[in-house]
Amino acid sequence: MKEVEGVKEKGEYISYEDFLDFCDEDTLAEWVDGKIERYSPASDMHQDLAGWLTSLLRIYVEAKKLGVIRPAPFQMKTGRDLPGREPDIIFVRKENQGMLKRTYLNGPADLSIEIVSEESLLRDRGEKFAEYEIGGVKEYWIIDPELERADFFVLKEGRYERRVEDERGIYRSEIINGFWIKVEWLWNLPPVLDVLKELGLI
């Protein structure tokens, strides 16, 4: 990755295509305004939550034949003039799978999930929120395990509208048909098989 580091140090422009060619699955970086922005490795808490959610969503989506789940590292380019980002988890509906390329999604995910860390807080709630809204990501979850806070947004007429869990603490996705989650599960991570039983899959 010497070439990529050199370009960043010089502040030179690199095309998104070259960025994808240079990067591999071990590269922790995103493409923003023609520059490479690196980010820190994920924490243990972040990885536990990301792995749990990926397993749960992947099994549900595959069982229902709804589409595909892609966890990071996997790029998403929502528009020609928008950055190339790497959400923690994306869901792409079956009818939109033509946008999936070898190393990135060429268009907006139907659902994008970001798990907040200390260094990503402003990016996830600010820059990415605006970019995903402009780029057409239909549902956006921002999950902060440190604060035990989950925010859910759904795109309506080009703007994000916030959605909240019901009185039982259940959030129902508007994008993944039939999928719901108890928000408290995000903080205690019950066994995936137990959750799948509650969802009626097993």
Q: Dump pLDDT digits (tens) for 131-140.
A: 999 999 999 9
Taking the complete model, does pTM exceed 0.85, yes or no? no
Same domain, 63 and 118: yes
Give residue 162's pLDDT.
97
Sign of CA dihedral 99, 104, 108, 111: positive
Same domain, 27 and 51: no
Same domain, 18 and 53: no
pLDDT, greater one: 134 or 8? 134
CATH of the domain at 194: 3.90.1570.10
Same domain, 161 and 181: yes
Same domain, 149 and 171: yes
Q: Is 88 exposed, middle or buried (0-12, 13-18, 19+ CB in 10 A)?
A: buried
Domain that holds residue 180: 42-198
Confidence tier at 24 by pLDDT (50, 70, 90): low
Same domain, 84 and 170: yes
Confidence tier at 201 by pLDDT (50, 70, 90): very high
pLDDT at 3 over 70: no
Same domain, 76 and 140: yes
Q: Dump pLDDT digits (tens) for 53-95.
A: 999 999 999 999 999 999 998 999 999 888 889 999 999 999 9
Same domain, 96 and 119: yes
Give residue 11's pLDDT.
54
Same domain, 112 and 27: no
Cβ atoms 112, 90 nearer than 8 A: yes
pLDDT at 1 over 50: no
Same domain, 157 and 70: yes
Same domain, 166 and 93: yes
The total number of structural domains in the chain stands at: 2
What value does the mean pLDDT of the chain take? 88
pLDDT at 51 over 70: yes
Same domain, 57 and 25: no
CA distance 9 to 6: 5
Strands 159-163 and 149-156, by their bridges, are antiparallel
CA 158 and chain centroid, separation = 19
pLDDT, greater one: 84 or 170? 170
